[in-house]
Amino acid sequence: MRAISLLDKVISNKEIKVGLMIHILRNAWPKEFYFESHVLGKNMCLFVFKNDRDKAKVLSAIPLLVLNCHLMLKKRPKKGGIEDIDFNTTKFWLQIHNVPEFEAYPQDESFISKLFTNPTTTGKREIIIEIEDVEC
């Protein structure tokens, strides 16, 4: 069960209605995904998926925002308990709008590439940057 489960923690100053969050995720994730959910405490939940493929698809879509709060999903460690999971860092996407055309300003593209690894341009004068291990 450890291999196909994920722990989630909602980053919020207020207590989130976990049942509502689960309902939103059931509607957001593909219908063929089957998962069980177990409330573990304030703003924490355990998701157990039918298979590793479904878990991997969910992990590929993070970070997630639910009820205007960041949903932090973490894999369960092979050994140890929930208290051994590091909820002190998370992953974010940063989206920058109204970026000048790089053809006109090539120095901007190299500057952004030096600051961030793997920036993605969308072709709409915006850049999406994946940032990992952000301290909470």
Pick from 133, 126, 92: nearest CA to 112? 126
Domain count, the chain: 2
The DSSP line for 95-124 is EE-SPPPTTT-HHHHHHHHHHSSS-EE-SS
Segment 75-134, tens digit of pLDDT: 887 777 777 787 777 777 777 777 666 555 555 556 666 666 666 666 666 666 666 665
- On whether both 60 and 98 belong to a single domain, the answer is no
Residue 47 has pLDDT above 70, yes or no: yes
Instruction: Count the alpha carbons within 13 Å of 22 in the hemisphere toward its beta carbon.
Output: 17
Answer yes or no: is 84 within a domain.
no
pLDDT band of residue 31 (cuts 50, 70, 90) is confident
Q: Return the pLDDT at 128.
A: 66
Q: Return the pLDDT at 103.
A: 54
Residue 61 in 3-state DSSP? coil
- On whether both 7 and 53 belong to a single domain, the answer is yes
Q: Return the pLDDT at 5.
A: 86
One-letter identity of residue 126: E
- On whether both 69 and 48 belong to a single domain, the answer is yes
Burial class (CB in 10 A: 0-12, 13-18, 19+), 37: middle
**Domain of residue 121, residue span:** 91-135
Question: CATH code at 62?
Answer: 3.30.70.330
- On whether both 39 and 105 belong to a single domain, the answer is no
- On whether both 8 and 55 belong to a single domain, the answer is yes
Answer yes or no: is 83 within a domain.
no
Answer yes or no: is 68 within a domain.
yes
Q: Return the pLDDT at 135.
A: 59
